């Protein structure tokens, strides 16, 4: 009886030790998961909605580059969803109603607008403010600071300024997208506000 009691006592101690270790490990996991809980859900939700809307527009009005653009934006969506989950964002983000196809009208207007005053949306003059009213979001790319654009050709130099914190960065367009300008991770980190993944008040200048 004594030996059985001693054996049972040791088993209880082992079980309790394992349970304590499991709880400690769980506590560490929870602590790590909450490391970025201060992220701004409004900014993340807006960035997600913008990218989902763009993907929906590309699917509704496809062209030769739509598949590449959608793949690019889907990578951004996946990154934003991960950060929303980490931040505890629970809003039901839905796609905005697709706007009328913009490919025809805007593409015909810039040449006529740029000639008189050089203030067209596509910006034909160096140092000229372009993409007026556009927001700037991020695309996932593990490289040095760079930009992606569907308005300017690869090799174009752009300066992006965030008016909300007066930070700016000069980047070169290295790939195509469906937006006027997107910044990759390295460039976006230098000008964004903490916890936000969209620049609402952006000034974009074409330098060359």
SS (H, E, C) 9-45: HHHHHHHHHHHHHHHHHHHHHHHHHCCCCCCCHHHHH
How high is the pLDDT of residue 102?
Answer: 52
Tell me the C-alpha distance between 126 and 118, whole Å.
10
Tens-digit pLDDT profile for residues 107-152? 454 443 333 333 333 443 457 888 887 788 777 777 889 998 888 8
Q: Please say if the pLDDT value at position 172 is more than 90.
A: yes
**Could you tell me the domains of the chain?**
114-206 (2.40.40.10)
Tell me the C-alpha distance between 179 and 168, whole Å.
19
pTM: 0.41
Cβ(103)–Cβ(61) under 8 Å?
yes
Tell me the C-alpha distance between 61 and 36, whole Å.
37
How are strands ordered across the β-sheet holding 198-199?
A: 128-130, 202-206, 157-162, 167-175, 147-148, 182-184, 136-139, 198-199
Q: What is the mean pLDDT of residues 89-101?
A: 72
Which positions ≥6 away from 92 have C-beta within 8 Å? none
| pLDDT confidence tier of residue 78, bands split at 50, 70 and 90 | very high
């Amino acid at each position: 009886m004594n030996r059985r009691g001693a054996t049972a006592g040791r088993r209880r101690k082992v079980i309790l030790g394992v349970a304590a270790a499991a709880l400690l490990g769980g506590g560490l996991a929870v602590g790590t998961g909450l490391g970025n809980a201060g992220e701004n859900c409004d900014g993340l939700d807006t960035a997600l909605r913008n990218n989902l809307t763009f993907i929906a527009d590309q699917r509704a009005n496809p062209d030769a580059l739509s598949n590449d653009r959608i793949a690019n934006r889907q990578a951004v969506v996946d990154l934003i969803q991960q950060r929303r989950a980490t931040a505890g964002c629970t809003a039901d983000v839905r796609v905005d109603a697709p706007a009328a196809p913009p490919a025809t009208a805007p593409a015909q207007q810039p040449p006529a607008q740029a000639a008189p005053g050089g203030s067209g949306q596509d910006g034909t003059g160096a140092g000229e403010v372009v993409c007026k009213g556009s927001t700037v979001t991020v695309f996932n790319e593990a490289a040095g600071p760079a930009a992606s654009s569907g308005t300017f050709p690869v090799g174009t130099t752009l300066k992006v300024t965030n008016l909300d914190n007066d930070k700016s960065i000069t980047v070169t367009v290295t790939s195509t997208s469906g937006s006027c300008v997107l910044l990759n991770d390295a460039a976006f980190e230098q000008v964004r506000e903490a916890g936000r993944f969209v620049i609402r008040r952006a000034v974009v200048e074409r330098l060359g």
